[in-house]
Amino acid sequence: MSAARWAVAGGVVGTLLGVLLFAPAAWLANGLVSATDGRLMLADARGTVWRGSGVLVLTGGEGSRDASALPGRLAWRIGYKGGHFTLRLNQACCINGTLNAEIEPGFGRWAVTLPAAPGALGQWPAAWLAGLGTPWNTLQLTGSFTLASQGLKVESAQGRVRVEGAAVMELNQVASRLSTLAPLGSYRLNVAGGDITRFTLATTSGPLQLSGSGQWAAAKLRFNGEARAAEGSEAALSNLLNIIGRRQGARAIIAIG
């Protein structure tokens, strides 16, 4: 190859490396919107794909007018080790220390793994969920929720999402603008992956008793449960139970999907 051709080839390779190394954070923000159908956004993204920060926003998806942002900025660093990318996240308001994750990109697929760790990964305000739209924007919850990973892995291939491992979400000291009774209670949601992702909801404390189970399969969510008031709280929670589900005596039946 002539010197001129070597120079052109070197220039092309250098340009490609420059684009890759200094790819703007907006590219990552656009990828997150695409992967979550517009329900999770990185607003005001700054820096590069490899190291930057942004404001994490929940929305109801394309066309929704609902949106809710976490306080402060989420900072990230992406590296490469052992055949996969590593992701390190920090956010003073919500993440305990540094949240570490593994990313496996591919053609038409991606996977994110949250390695098993003792304790909760962080604590987020329940009010943030209002950004997802109905029914969260109606409930207007206060309190907080935590997430603990037991080797949770979320993989998307050809538009189909599969969950492996397990995780536990806890909602703590939850209250709602729809009830003068506060707090309503604390709750635990167990998630178990596999060919079918299964959910189990239980009440850990409080006057509003929630229970149920469901599954995610073939891109469809199904959940069946019930809500009832603890003894002595029936009158205070009657209107809220009417909103939560279809009344059947003292219970409100919850059915999704």
Distances (CA, A) of 199 to 163, 190, 196: 12, 6, 10
CA gap 191, 193 in Å, rounded? 7
Residues 91, 73 contacting (CB under 8 angstroms):
yes
pLDDT, residue 204, reads 98
pLDDT at 184: 97
pLDDT in tens, 150-194: 999 988 877 778 899 999 999 999 999 999 999 999 999 999 998
With a cut of 80, say whether residue 21 has pLDDT above it.
no
Bin 151: left if φ > 0, else alpha if -120 < ψ < 50, else beta.
left
pLDDT single digits (tens) 103-131 = 887 777 788 899 888 889 999 999 999 99
Compute the mean pLDDT over every residue in the chain, rounded to the nearest whole number.
Answer: 87
Convert the pLDDT of each residue in 192-235 to its tens digit. 998 899 999 999 999 999 999 999 887 788 999 999 999 999 99
Whether residue 92 is predicted with pLDDT greater than 90 in this model: the reply is yes
90 pLDDT above the threshold of 80: yes
Structure tokens given for 207: 């006057």
Residue 31, pLDDT > 90, answer no
With beta carbons less than 8 A apart as the criterion, state whether 31 and 45 touch: no
Rounded to 5°, the CA angle 238-140-30 comes to: 145
Under the banding of pLDDT at 50, 70 and 90, the label for residue 64 is confident
Does residue 12 surpass a pLDDT of 70?
no
Q: How confident is the model at residue 2, as a pLDDT?
A: 53
Rounded to whole angstroms, the Cα distance separating 65 from 181 reads: 29
| pLDDT confidence bin for 4, thresholds 50/70/90 | very low
Query: Whole-angstrom Cα distance, residue 127 to residue 140?
Result: 6
Say if residue 50's pLDDT is above 50. yes
Q: Which residue has the higher pLDDT, 35 or 116?
A: 116
Burial 12-23 (b: 16+ CB within 10 A, else e): eeeeeeeeeeee
CA angle 54, 190, 137 (to 5 degrees): 50
The pTM of the full predicted model, rounded to 2 decimals, is 0.84
